[in-house]
Amino acid sequence: MRELLDDEAIEAALAGTGWERHGDEITRTVRREGFAGALAYVNAVGGLAERHDHHPDITLKWDTVTLVLSTHSAGGLTQMDLDLAAAIDALD
């Protein structure tokens, strides 16, 4: 099982990113050019998720994508979440 991160580590990792903490999850919402742009972004995130073997909850609404990360098996946020969030940020 993955080790849960403490509040200080989570806050430090999220500082200056587009991610926000909501309890045991971190979220990010991005807009892309139309549905096709948003879908391409979702596909890129999906590829990263497969490589990291860690999968976000994804909501796609027209040109807006919302990502939610949490390590459900650990009951909260782990380094896996922060690593995938950083990889997703590198897509921009």
pLDDT digits (tens, 9 = 90+) for 66-79: 999 999 999 999 99
The predicted structure's pLDDT at residue 1: 61
pTM listed for this prediction: 0.94
Report domain extents, the chain. 7-89
Contacts of 82 (CB under 8 A, 6+ apart): 5, 10, 13
The predicted structure's pLDDT at residue 2: 86
Backbone angles phi, psi at 53, to 5 degrees: 50, 45
Contacts of 74 (CB under 8 A, 6+ apart): 1, 2, 3, 4
Which CATH number is 7-89's, of 3.30.499.10, 3.30.1360.120, 3.30.1360.20, 3.40.50.720? 3.30.1360.20
pLDDT tens sequence across 22-59? 999 999 999 999 999 999 999 999 999 999 999 999 99
Structure-model confidence comparison of residues 89 and 1, the more confident one: 89
